[in-house]
């Protein structure tokens, strides 16, 4: 019996060949005008449906999407569900929700039109495609059934450890590598469980040279491990599925974490044995965090900010988090944003050449900074809509206040918005309640933090005088003239220039009067433009807060 006969026994139901699959999944065609000065990239987001979506997932998906769409290519979603033990019900829906929430558009893939030419996009539904390729490798003597039990594999590992040999299933340790096709067929016919392994032709004494898009020239030993291709249920391992899928889905660029670098020799070897051109690889360093004097990888166990729910609960808007990740993905993004403050993020000329190979440092303070800028560029209507949606889910009491008067809430949010230097008060929606609290009597808390050079009698008299003549129809200039006149009435300097020239000549200045008004009306020493605040509160509420019984 030869290897072709063994392949027929192992895969009797498989009639397809790699040649048939080549015709079924032809190379993608892109119009020349779609290209941005180079190759149209086909990229994929390929998560496992485990239910936990984190910042690293979003970071990778954004890189894939930008690389594809900036080049006029295709971005698709593939679900790597070969490990059913880890699959969580509803996980795929959560993945699609994440991509939609963060405006990362898919061109094809799981959850979209199932009639797409390159599907199905769930790996467990592609079993016959993998088996066709596995049958082809077996027929050429490049794959074989391995009948080792878990106990036997553990015994091999123990012997290797004792002899300080490299771990793995290779060479003399590959006990079923040299079984004859006839003997292998006999064991299969008797019902012996098996996995299908690669018969690696690699020699670790030889080196493979490869150029990574991020790390440049790499050099590593050839793979000599007889890795598992198909598990005992006929479902492929990650290594084999990755190679087969990326070829027949015509993936041109693979962006993945550098934890996969160690397996790159296996993947390149598989591409070579199948006679396929490998995609271009970009191995990215993990998101890092400053921990004392050192840096470490963001941890699912230690760092709540790795989870996307952390940002949802605190009210970081999706646009801000996405923009912050762009500052980590490309070193020149901030410079571009400064020069193009109103441009959509999609206009940024994303480039893999600007990605860091050493690991991006996640900084929550920097995120807050970026988020304030993003929110400041929004219209009051956009802010109100997003804030209302967040409050409806996470703060029902505040949601009810916002819904009671949408126009009023939107007018609050409009103060200081627009213009070349808009206010940057909010980094997250969870900060809005405190920021807006003095506009709502239910949330307003009076304060006694008046200027120390104004005693209680002076404060009371000053506030009462202003309340008596306050006219909400006055513009900002007229309003401030009234404040200056009030300062002069109580013997304070009406002009800061005069006060600075001779501070000892005055008990205080116009800024103190303005501060006393601010504290009385808002309960705080800092707030948006006080004239606008008073106008929005209305004459009666302003009077009540100024005139104390």
Q: Are residues 231 and 337 in the same domain?
A: no
Residue 33 inside a domain? The answer is: no
Q: Are residues 415 and 473 in the same domain?
A: no
Residue 46 inside a domain? The answer is: yes
The Cα–Cα gap between 279 and 273 comes to 15
pLDDT tens figures, 428-460: 999 999 999 999 999 999 988 999 999 999 999
Characterize the bridge pairing of strands 108-109 and 294-297.
unpaired
The confidence band for 36, taking pLDDT boundaries of 50, 70 and 90, is: very low
Greater confidence (18 vs 163) lies with 18
Find the radius of gyration of the CA atoms of the chain: 33
Residue 414 inside a domain? The answer is: yes
Q: Are residues 245 and 191 in the same domain?
A: yes
Characterize the bridge pairing of strands 288-291 and 294-297.
antiparallel
Q: Are residues 256 and 331 in the same domain?
A: no
pTM above 0.85, yes or no: yes
Q: Are residues 231 and 376 in the same domain?
A: no
pLDDT tens figures, 529-548: 999 999 999 999 999 999 97
CB 126 within 8 A of CB 120: yes
User: Which distant-in-sequence residues (6+ apart) come within 8 Å of 479 by Cβ?
Assistant: 531, 534
Residue 28 inside a domain? The answer is: no
The confidence band for 329, taking pLDDT boundaries of 50, 70 and 90, is: very high
Q: What is the mean pLDDT of the chain?
A: 93
* CATH number for the domain harbouring residue 488: 1.10.10
Q: Are residues 508 and 360 in the same domain?
A: no
What are 265's two structure tokens?
Answer: 């020799």
Residue 34 inside a domain? The answer is: no
Residues belonging to the active site? 300
Residue 185 inside a domain? The answer is: yes
Q: Are residues 313 and 431 in the same domain?
A: yes
**Which of 116, 139, 159 is the endpoint of a domain?**
116
* CATH number for the domain harbouring residue 72: 3.40.50.620
The confidence band for 38, taking pLDDT boundaries of 50, 70 and 90, is: low
pLDDT at residue 1 above 70?
A: yes
Please report the sign of the dihedral spanned by the C-alpha atoms of residue 449, residue 452, residue 453, residue 458: positive
Q: Are residues 180 and 48 in the same domain?
A: no
**Which of 401, 416, 443 is the endpoint of a domain?**
443
Residue 530 inside a domain? The answer is: yes
Q: What is the mean pLDDT of residues 58-65?
A: 95
Instruction: Output the pLDDT for position 116.
Output: 80
Strand partners, 45: 77
Q: Treating both helix axes as pointing N-terminal to C-terminal, what angle do 380-394 and 406-414 enclose, rounded to 10 degrees?
A: 120
Q: Treating both helix axes as pointing N-terminal to C-terminal, what angle do 127-139 and 238-248 enclose, rounded to 10 degrees?
A: 100
Q: Tell me how many domains the chain contains.
A: 4
pLDDT tens figures, 477-520: 999 999 999 999 999 999 999 889 998 998 999 999 999 999 99
Query: DSSP E strands: which ranges in 275-383?
Result: 280-284, 288-291, 294-297, 361-362
Q: Are residues 266 and 415 in the same domain?
A: no
Q: Which of 109, 115, 114, 113 is nearest to 92 (CA)?
A: 109
Q: Are residues 152 and 258 in the same domain?
A: yes
Whole-number percent of the chain with pLDDT over 90: 83
Instruction: Output the pLDDT for position 108.
Output: 94
Q: Are residues 153 and 265 in the same domain?
A: yes
CB 63 within 8 A of CB 255: yes
**Which of 50, 82, 116 is the endpoint of a domain?**
116
The DSSP H or E segment spanning 143 is strand 143-146
- Domain of 165 in residue numbering reads as 127-284
Instruction: Output the pLDDT for position 395.
Output: 97
Instruction: Output the pLDDT for position 31.
Output: 62
pLDDT tens figures, 102-148: 999 999 999 887 778 899 999 999 999 999 999 999 999 999 999 99
Residue 29 inside a domain? The answer is: no
Q: Are residues 486 and 529 in the same domain?
A: yes
The DSSP H or E segment spanning 210 is strand 207-212
């Amino acid at each position: 019996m030869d290897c072709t006969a063994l392949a027929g026994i192992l895969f009797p139901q498989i009639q397809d060949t790699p040649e048939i699959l080549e015709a079924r999944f032809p190379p993608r065609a892109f119009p020349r005008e779609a290209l941005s000065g180079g190759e149209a990239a086909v990229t994929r987001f390929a998560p496992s449906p485990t239910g936990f979506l984190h910042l690293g997932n979003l970071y990778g998906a954004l890189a894939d999407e930008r690389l594809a769409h900036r080049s006029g290519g295709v971005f698709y979603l593939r679900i790597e569900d070969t490990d059913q033990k880890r699959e969580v019900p509803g996980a795929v829906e959560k993945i699609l929700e994440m991509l939609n929430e963060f405006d990362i558009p898919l061109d094809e893939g799981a959850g979209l039109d199932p009639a797409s030419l390159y599907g199905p996009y769930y790996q467990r539904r592609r079993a016959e495609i993998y088996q066709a390729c596995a049958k082809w490798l077996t027929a050429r003597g490049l794959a074989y059934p391995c009948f080792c039990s878990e106990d036997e594999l553990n015994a091999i590992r123990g012997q290797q450890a004792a002899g300080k040999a490299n771990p793995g299933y290779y060479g003399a340790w590959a006990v079923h590598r040299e079984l004859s096709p006839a003997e292998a067929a006999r064991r299969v016919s008797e019902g012996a469980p098996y996995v299908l392994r690669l018969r690696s032709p690699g020699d670790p004494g030889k080196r493979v040279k490869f150029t990574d898009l991020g790390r440049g020239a790499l050099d590593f030993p050839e793979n000599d491990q007889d890795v598992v291709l198909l598990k005992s249920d006929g479902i492929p391992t990650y290594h084999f599925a990755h190679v087969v899928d990326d070829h027949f889905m015509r993936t041109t660029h693979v962006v993945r974490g550098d934890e996969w670098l160690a397996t790159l020799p296996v993947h390149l070897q598989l591409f070579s044995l199948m006679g396929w051109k490998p995609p271009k690889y970009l191995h990215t360093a993990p998101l890092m965090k400053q921990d004392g004097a050192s840096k470490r990888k963001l941890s699912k166990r230690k760092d709540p900010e790795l989870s996307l729910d952390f940002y949802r609960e605190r009210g970081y808007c999706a646009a801000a988090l996405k923009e912050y990740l762009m500052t980590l993905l490309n070193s020149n993004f901030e410079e571009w944003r400064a020069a193009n403050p109103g441009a959509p993020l999609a206009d940024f000329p994303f480039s893999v050449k600007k990605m860091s190979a050493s690991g991006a440092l996640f900084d929550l303070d920097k995120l807050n900074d970026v988020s304030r800028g993003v929110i400041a560029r929004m219209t009051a209507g956009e802010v109100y809509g997003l804030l209302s949606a967040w409050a409806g889910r996470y703060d029902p009491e505040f949601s009810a206040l916002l819904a009671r008067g949408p126009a009023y809430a939107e007018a609050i949010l409009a103060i200081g918005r627009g213009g070349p230097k808009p206010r940057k008060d909010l980094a997250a929606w969870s900060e809005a309640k405190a920021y807006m609290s003095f506009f709502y009597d239910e949330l307003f808390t009076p304060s006694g933090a008046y200027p120390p050079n104004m005693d209680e009698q002076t404060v009371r008299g000053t506030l009462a005088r202003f309340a008596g003549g306050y006219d909400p129809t006055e513009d900002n200039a007229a309003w401030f003239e009234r404040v200056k006149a009030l300062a002069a009435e109580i013997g304070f300097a009406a002009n800061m220039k005069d006060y600075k020239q001779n501070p000892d000549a005055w008990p205080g200045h116009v800024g103190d009067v303005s501060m006393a008004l601010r504290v009385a009306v808002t309960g705080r020493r800092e707030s948006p433009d006080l004239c606008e605040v008073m106008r929005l509160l209305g004459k009666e509420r302003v009077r009540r807060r100024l005139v104390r019984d």
